[in-house]
Amino acid sequence: MKPYLVFMSGDFRKILISIGLLAIGCNLLGAQEHEAFRLYNAQGKKTSFKKLYRSIDRSEVVFFGEAHDLSVCHWLELELLKYMNENGTVVLGMEMFESNEQSQLDHLSSGAIALSTLEQHVDLWSNFETDYQPLIEYALQHDIRIIGTNTPDHLPRRVFREGFEFLDSLSQEEKAFLPPLPIPYDSSLPGYQAMLAMEHGDMNSENFPKAQAIRDATMAYFILKNLGSTPLLHVNGSYHSNDNEGICWYVQKHRPDTKITTISTVTQPKVSRLNKDHLGKADFIICVPESMTRTYTTSF
């Protein structure tokens, strides 16, 4: 028996075909709305990991600006670390460890400290086991040096209360965990200006971006201090490297010819098109649905 469609008029067949194409289109659209993420370039055009890898291959420092509570970031960080290691050598720098914890990280790398006891020696972030331990495990397995770049945590809090002047009172031992003082500071940078506009209760709002700046300056200093012929992958909150400000600004101020690639993570209701507000945040932008499951519910 011949298919029933043979006996239909040409116009009706066209209608059915159109309906079928529309259904396929709707299915594809639905699939796009449920993507875990999309990768865009700075201009908001969808791009590929091949192009990201090509940029990484030409870079000395790769800044992965993450959303701390999105597991897709941590998975991609591990994939990039693997790529960089498989294509040469790499150093892993992390905001999640402080500069005064470097000796403990070196002991971890040498085997003098077991990973299972690391929390006895350094202050681990609450999401360390789920989000950062896989990076550390891979680094240890492949003899990748781990650098703690962040400022000792109590110092930005004191800067917030007392300003940069407080840093002058530190001992020489404490100053060793910071960049040379006084640090350069440009309060007109848009990122710092945005922080000035935030509410801070009865605290001195002028010091709020300064507390951020001491972190940015310290991370930049220890990145450059550990930057040789080996490229460095640095993992940090995206606000520390967005728009080539923050850490990037300090790196480029002290070493203007440094070749860098920046990655930022943003969230949107849908990832099918990058919002204009996110254009230019980084060389590559990972766009994640707002509905993505978070790894924790409290913020740092």
Question: What are the tens digits of pLDDT across the range 113-158?
Answer: 999 999 999 999 999 999 999 999 999 999 999 999 999 999 999 9
* CA 34 to chain centroid: 23
Distance CA 300, CA 210 (A): 18
Cα–Cα distance, 131 to 64 (Å, whole number)? 14
Burial of 65 (0-12, 13-18, 19+ CB in 10 A): buried
pLDDT at 3 over 50: no
Return mean pLDDT, the chain: 89
- Element of type H or E holding 261: strand 260-268
Q: What average pLDDT does the segment 202-221 reach? A: 89
| pLDDT one-digit tens code per residue, 62-111 | 999 999 999 999 999 999 999 999 989 999 999 999 999 999 999 999 99
- Residue that is written with structure tokens 């990768």 in the block: 39
State percent of the chain over pLDDT 70.
Answer: 86
The pLDDT confidence band at residue 19, using thresholds 50, 70 and 90, is: very low
pLDDT band at 198 (very low <50, low <70, confident <90, very high): confident
Task: Give the confidence band of 204 by pLDDT, cuts at 50, 70, 90.
Answer: low
Check residue 196 and give its pLDDT: 87
Residue 30 has pLDDT above 80, yes or no: no
Cis peptide before 182 (omega within 30 of 0): yes
Predicted confidence (pLDDT) at residue 295 exceeds the cutoff of 90: no
Query: Tokens representing 24?
Result: 């396929």
Cβ-count burial 252-291 (b if 16+ within 10 Å, e if not):
eebeeebebbbbbbbbbeebeebeeebebbbbbbbbbbee
Look at 31 and 221; give whichever has higher pLDDT: 221
